[in-house]
């Protein structure tokens, strides 16, 4: 008995509509109100429609989100141009695309690479919608050849400089030497005074003459609001955690301002350093309260304020932004990471052992299928440039802040004491999160553009000249490894290059005498 053909219900056409919607990122209503042919049905949201949407999303996942966004942006430019000239955009005739590209060469003088990108976007949208690609038309090949001869090629942009190992050491030394700014020193000392029991008004009235710093203790004479005379004394020694922190904080603040020549009649806590002309006025009680409020809110892992003792510990040592930037630069160099690979790392992607750190990349440029790959970062021989040590210091800072001090990350803590699992505090957080000026950690990762700006800033602060960018770390590792005559195959394994031809692009020959064979032939 012959089988009877079943109706298709327009499944193929509906899938193309769903693919187009998923690829362009448009809403259902937006596409259903567009000028697509009526032959593509608009079915109700049922089980089949849901399956079509899922299948379309799988199609769209074949390219990265960044690529899809670029294609959608280029397509909308073409669609707008067609509407202005009363021409059909989907499907578009090959002649319509030729007119569009020809108009672009006349009006804007766009580069040939830009025009080819527009052509690729138009072809891909037609493919998703189930129509023949205009770029496959026989006449289009001849048109593009003529276009390539007529459109002038832009001058080549200068290459991004490679941050080689010598420059990397210079940047790390500059980060190591970066001192804490005045506001951090002041706020840390202010919080110590509050932890010792002083109120906002009492902190505001403190003069340096009221502070007696000794070798192992501190004496604070607290002045009254009316007479201005000392009404009580507070003593703390280094055996108390707050006393040790207060002694160190006030000593650092005093050194920062005027040192031994400091006038004892000046206030301790001022809006600006006391060595400046405008720094002799004290913070008001309201100003003291605002400093405490801002710091405790910024250093909190959630909406509630951080504990004063935890905030004091967070303000000790190098600033959080220095710890993050140093770890990011060293890890990015050692792993030869691309910008989006480095900024996309999560703490759950990292495992640290005695040999080094193992980083799992969930997806990369050469792994669009998302199979993942593992990158090993060995420990360095120099503490200054050890990427794993820098990562561990940054991790300890993150755990301390995000756990609210519940997890003790100090190296001197009791190993037998029961503490919460430190990984819980940073699970599902990006490794290199964005930081506010006051030290608040954001759940958003530092963007690739932010990484570029950070590298430029740190290289300029270190006094290194060059054209720095996001690729400086990746090209710096590859160029340094090539200078050391490490086989290209081994370099490609670490940098995850598919071919040696693309690897060679990252090797910067900025010194014509480096590895020059003419120096080895016996002249």
Tokens for 288? Answer: 């003291």
Q: Are 455 and 161 contacting, i.e. CB atoms less than 8 angstroms apart?
A: no
Predicted local confidence at residue 333, as pLDDT? 94
Preceding omega of 523 cis (within 30 degrees of 0): no
Angle at 444 between CA 74 and CA 318, to 5 degrees: 130
Predicted local confidence at residue 58, as pLDDT? 75
Q: How far apart are CA 152 and CA 113, in angstroms?
A: 11
Please give the share of the chain, as a percent, with pLDDT higher than 70.
82
Q: How far is CA 69 from the centre of its chain?
A: 20
Q: What would you report as the CA-atom Rg of the chain, rounded to the nearest whole angstrom?
A: 31
Q: Are 331 and 387 contacting, i.e. CB atoms less than 8 angstroms apart?
A: yes
Assign 192 a pLDDT band (cuts: 50, 70, 90): very high
Assign 420 a pLDDT band (cuts: 50, 70, 90): very low
The lowest-confidence range among 23-37, 64-78, 149-163, 218-232 is 23-37
Tell me phi and psi for residue 442, to 5 degrees.
-105, 145
Q: What is the mean pLDDT of residues 312-316?
A: 89
Predicted local confidence at residue 231, as pLDDT? 79
| Domain boundaries for CATH 1.10.150.130 within the chain | 11-150
Predicted local confidence at residue 369, as pLDDT? 60
Q: Kindly report the average pLDDT of the chain as a whole number.
A: 81
Q: What is the mean pLDDT of residues 190-213?
A: 91
Q: Are 295 and 311 contacting, i.e. CB atoms less than 8 angstroms apart?
A: yes
- At 276 the three-state DSSP class reads coil
Q: pLDDT tens, 68-107?
A: 888 888 899 999 999 998 888 888 888 988 888 888 877 5
User: Higher-confidence residue: 396 or 130?
Assistant: 396
Predicted local confidence at residue 325, as pLDDT? 95
Q: pLDDT tens, 10-22?
A: 777 777 787 878 7
Q: pLDDT tens, 261-279?
A: 456 788 889 888 765 444 5
Q: What is the mean pLDDT of residues 205-226?
A: 87
Q: pLDDT tens, 50-66?
A: 787 878 777 777 777 77
Paired residues of 120 in beta bridges = none
Measured CA to CA in angstroms, residue 273 lies from 163, 189, 281 at distances of: 36, 14, 10
Assign 351 a pLDDT band (cuts: 50, 70, 90): very high
Number of Cβ within 10 Å of residue 139's Cβ equals 11
Number of Cβ within 10 Å of residue 122's Cβ equals 26
Assign 472 a pLDDT band (cuts: 50, 70, 90): very high
Length of the chain: 523
Kindly state which CATH superfamily the domain 329-504 is placed in. Answer: Intergrase catalytic core (1.10.443.10)
Assign 28 a pLDDT band (cuts: 50, 70, 90): very low
Predicted local confidence at residue 259, as pLDDT? 53
| Domain boundaries for CATH 1.10.443.10 within the chain | 329-504
Predicted local confidence at residue 450, as pLDDT? 94
Q: Is the pLDDT of residue 340 over 70?
A: yes
Q: Are 446 and 303 contacting, i.e. CB atoms less than 8 angstroms apart?
A: no
Predicted local confidence at residue 228, as pLDDT? 65
Q: pLDDT tens, 434-444?
A: 998 888 888 89
The lowest-confidence range among 187-201, 230-244, 406-420 is 406-420
pTM for the model stands at 0.71
Assign 124 a pLDDT band (cuts: 50, 70, 90): confident
CATH class of 11-150: mainly alpha
In three state form, how does the secondary structure of 149-213 look?
HHCCCCCCCCCCCCCCHHHHHHHHHHHHHCCCCHHHHHHHHHHHHHHCCCCHHHHHCCEHHHEEE
Q: Is the pLDDT of residue 429 over 60?
A: yes
Q: Is the pLDDT of residue 407 over 80?
A: no
User: Higher-confidence residue: 369 or 88?
Assistant: 88
Predicted local confidence at residue 107, as pLDDT? 57
Residue tagged 């502070």 (tokens): 211
Q: What is the mean pLDDT of residues 448-458?
A: 94
User: Higher-confidence residue: 503 or 368?
Assistant: 503
Assign 487 a pLDDT band (cuts: 50, 70, 90): confident
Q: What is the mean pLDDT of residues 35-41?
A: 45
Assign 47 a pLDDT band (cuts: 50, 70, 90): confident
Predicted local confidence at residue 456, as pLDDT? 94
Assign 34 a pLDDT band (cuts: 50, 70, 90): very low
Q: Are 221 and 210 contacting, i.e. CB atoms less than 8 angstroms apart?
A: yes
What's the half-sphere exposure (Cβ side, CA atoms, 13 Å) at 405? 14
User: Higher-confidence residue: 276 or 221?
Assistant: 221
User: Higher-confidence residue: 518 or 468?
Assistant: 468
Paired residues of 219 in beta bridges = 212, 235
The lowest-confidence range among 205-214, 408-417, 499-508 is 408-417
Predicted local confidence at residue 178, as pLDDT? 81
């Amino acid at each position: 008995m012959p089988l009877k053909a079943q109706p298709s219900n327009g499944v193929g056409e509906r899938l193309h509509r769903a693919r187009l919607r998923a690829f362009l990122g448009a809403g259902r209503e937006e596409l259903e109100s567009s000028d697509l042919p009526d032959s593509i049905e608009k079915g109700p949201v049922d089980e089949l429609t849901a399956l079509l949407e899922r299948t379309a999303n799988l199609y769209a996942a074949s390219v990265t989100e960044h690529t899809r966004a670029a294609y959608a942006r280029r397509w909308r430019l073409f669609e707008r141009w067609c509407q202005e000239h009363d021409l059909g955009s989907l499907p578009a005739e090959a002649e319509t695309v030729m007119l569009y590209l020809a108009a672009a060469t006349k009006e804007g003088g766009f580069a040939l690479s830009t025009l080819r990108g527009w052509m690729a976007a138009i072809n891909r949208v037609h493919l998703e919608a189930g129509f023949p690609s205009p770029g496959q038309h026989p006449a289009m090949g001849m048109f593009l050849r003529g276009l390539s001869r007529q459109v002038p090629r832009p001058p080549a942009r200068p290459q991004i400089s490679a941050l080689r190992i010598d420059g990397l050491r210079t940047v790390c030394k500059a980060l190591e030497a970066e001192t804490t700014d005045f506001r951090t020193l002041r706020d840390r000392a202010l919080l110590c005074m509050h932890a010792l029991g002083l109120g906002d008004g009492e902190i505001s009235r403190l003069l340096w003459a009221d502070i007696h710093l000794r070798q192992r203790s501190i004496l604070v004479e607290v002045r009254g609001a009316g007479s201005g005379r000392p009404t009580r004394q507070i003593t703390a020694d280094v055996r108390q955690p707050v006393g040790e922190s207060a002694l160190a904080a006030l000593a650092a603040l005093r050194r920062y301002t005027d040192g031994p020549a400091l006038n004892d009649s000046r206030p301790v806590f001022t809006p600006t350093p006391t060595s400046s002309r405008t720094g002799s006025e004290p913070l008001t009680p309201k100003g003291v309260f605002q400093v405490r409020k801002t710091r405790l809110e910024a250093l909190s892992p959630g909406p509630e304020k951080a504990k004063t003792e935890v905030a004091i510990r967070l303000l000790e040592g190098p600033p959080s932004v220095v710890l993050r930037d140093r770890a990011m630069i060293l890890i990015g160099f050692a792993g030869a990471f691309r910008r989006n690979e480095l900024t996309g790392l999560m703490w759950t992607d990292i495992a640290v052992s005695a040999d080094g750190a193992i980083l799992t990349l969930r997806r990369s440029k050469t792994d669009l299928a998302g199979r993942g790959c593992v990158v090993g970062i060995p420990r360095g021989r120099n503490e200054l440039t050890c990427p794993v040590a820098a990562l561990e210091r940054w991790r300890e800072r993150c755990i301390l802040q995000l756990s609210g001090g519940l997890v003790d990350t100090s190296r001197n803590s009791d190993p037998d004491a029961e503490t919460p699992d430190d990984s819980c505090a940073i699970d599902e957080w990006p490794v290199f999160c964005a930081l506010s000026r006051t030290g608040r950690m954001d759940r958003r990762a530092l963007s690739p553009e932010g990484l570029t700006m950070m590298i430029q800033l740190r290289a300029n602060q270190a006094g290194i000249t060059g054209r720095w960018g996001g690729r400086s770390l990746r090209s710096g590792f590859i160029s340094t490894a090539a200078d050391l005559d490490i086989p290209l195959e081994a370099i490609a394994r670490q940098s995850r290059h598919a071919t040696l031809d693309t690897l060679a692009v990252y090797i910067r020959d900025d010194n014509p005498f480096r590895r020059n064979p003419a120096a080895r032939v016996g002249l």
